[in-house]
Amino acid sequence: MGWPYKKLVRPILFAQNAERVHDFTLKLLGHVSRNKFARDVTGKFFASPELPVEMFGLKFPNPVGLAAGLDKFAVAVPIWEKLGFGFCELGGVTWHPQPGNLSPRIFRAVADEAIVNRMGFNNSGAEALAQKLAEWKKNGRWPKHPVGINLGKSKITPLEKAAEDYADSFRALRDLADFFVVNVSSPNTPGLRQLQDKSALDEIFAAMQQENSTRKPILVKVAPDLSFEALDEILGLAKTRNISGIVATNTTISRPQTNDSRLQKIYAETGGLSGKPLRARSTEIIRHIFKQTRGQLPIVGVGGIFNADDAWEKISAGASLIQIYTGMIYEGPGIAKTIVRGLVQRMERERVHNLKEIAHSAAAKI
Ligand SMILES: Cc1cc2nc3c(=O)[nH]c(=O)nc-3n(C[C@H](O)[C@H](O)[C@H](O)COP(=O)(O)O)c2cc1C
């Protein structure tokens, strides 16, 4: 599927406005999600081989997940497993519904296989999302794989009230998903990344854990622009606040050097950069977390994964699960299957029996 998508479908899609293509595609996937025949055909084409992973008490059929921001409104929940994903992270959602930033707010940097976005958490609010998820459950179309929800802070909520805002969203959604991710790392909500500060994050997790009587795993998603010192402060909270893992990383505010004037124009846009230029930095962050926690804290690796080698790099650095956003835009709907298949083949070649061995043996060689 990779070749026909890249040569035939992608040129048509990339000739249109990026957000319009996104909305159209999600709408289409929503229709497919509601039709049993279409779902089954999709599953026949795109099913991944099995590569089970157990993490924070959940069973994942494979380690390749859909990253936050792609299905913000949960319009296509049943389709991600049919496209071969081992889990999905829905949202980001905020307590208050909000329109996000003005359009245009997604830009393709095609020559670098990257995206700049400043969506600003456009979403219909935690209660509307809860209703949507309840509908999928009621209709018996809930996927077998774990489902996570990405929580952001409402723009109108002042930073001092952030803990309440996250806890309100969590209360509305806690019974409807398997794990939650506290997103304090999006560059597109003013001041949000200040919440990565230890005391602010401590307050957020304290408020959420108070609501968490069924002990749902709650992870935190970090920015690739954090210093290792700031990252270590966050890791220091993991035990006291029962943080189940780290999602590393969100998009970056940094930009690569380039002489290409078309890229320069895109990179001058405000927003977070994702895709290939993010790959190395996000891997570096993962490696640091793995080293600091001696592999004891689960890491979800995300940033610039386009193929099985990129996935292997993240897993070697210490990720137990990985996620994809921009890679799917550039490589097409078969990306999860291609990556899982590539991982299985490489594990056979290198005589590795489970994914955990990969990171531990890589760390031993450093
Ligand atoms: C258009 C767009 C919207 C996104 N929205 C969110 C979001 O709501 N919450 C979040 O935590 N990350 C969001 N992300 C970040 C991705 O989940 C991911 O961390 C990042 O894009 C790096 O992965 P990639 O290089 O595979 O795209 C968004 C990314 C893009 C491109």
**Structure confidence by residue, pLDDT tens digits, 110-143:** 999 999 999 999 999 999 999 999 999 999 999 9
**Residue 186 alpha carbon to ligand 1 centre in Å:** 8
Q: Is the pLDDT of residue 359 over 90?
A: no
Q: 131: part of which helix (H) or strand (E)?
A: helix 126-138
Angle of CA points 145, 245, 174, to nearest 5°: 55
Determine the average pLDDT of the residues in 5-30.
97
pLDDT at 51: 97
For 343, other C-beta atoms within 10 Å of its C-beta total 25
Q: Which atom of ligand 1 is nearest to the CA of 68?
A: 17
pLDDT at 1: 62
Share of the chain above pLDDT 70, in %: 99
pLDDT at 2: 83
The answer, yes or no, to whether any atom of ligand 1 lies below 6 A from the CB of 86, is no
Catalytic member of 154, 186, 282, 316: 186
Q: Which pLDDT band holds residue 361 (cuts at 50, 70, 90)?
A: confident
| Angle in degrees, 0-180, between the axes of helices 279-292 and 228-240, rounded to the nearest 10 | 50
pLDDT at 366: 62
pLDDT at 363: 75
pLDDT at 209: 98
The answer, yes or no, to whether any atom of ligand 1 lies below 6 A from the CB of 250, is yes
Q: Which pLDDT band holds residue 356 (cuts at 50, 70, 90)?
A: confident
The answer, yes or no, to whether any atom of ligand 1 lies below 6 A from the CB of 119, is yes
The answer, yes or no, to whether any atom of ligand 1 lies below 6 A from the CB of 183, is yes
**152 within 8 A of 186, measured Cβ to Cβ:** yes
**Residue 231 alpha carbon to ligand 1 centre in Å:** 19
Q: How far apart are CA 76 and CA 28, in angstroms?
A: 9
Mean pLDDT of the chain: 96
The answer, yes or no, to whether any atom of ligand 1 lies below 6 A from the CB of 61, is no
**341 within 8 A of 64, measured Cβ to Cβ:** no
> Does residue 186 have an active-site annotation?
yes
Q: Is the pLDDT of residue 187 over 70?
A: yes
Share of the chain above pLDDT 90, in %: 94
**Residue 326 alpha carbon to ligand 1 centre in Å:** 8
Structure tokens at 137: 């459950």
**Residue 249 alpha carbon to ligand 1 centre in Å:** 9
The answer, yes or no, to whether any atom of ligand 1 lies below 6 A from the CB of 115, is yes
Q: Which pTM value belongs to this model? A: 0.98
Q: Which atom of ligand 1 is nearest to the CA of 324?
A: 26
Q: Which pLDDT band holds residue 71 (cuts at 50, 70, 90)?
A: very high
Return the minimum-mean-pLDDT range out of 108-122, 165-179, 186-200, 323-337.
186-200
Q: Which atom of ligand 1 is nearest to the CA of 92?
A: 8
Determine the average pLDDT of the residues in 209-235.
97
Q: Which atom of ligand 1 is nearest to the CA of 250?
A: 19
**Residue 198 alpha carbon to ligand 1 centre in Å:** 23
Closest CA to 293 of 344, 334, 235: 235
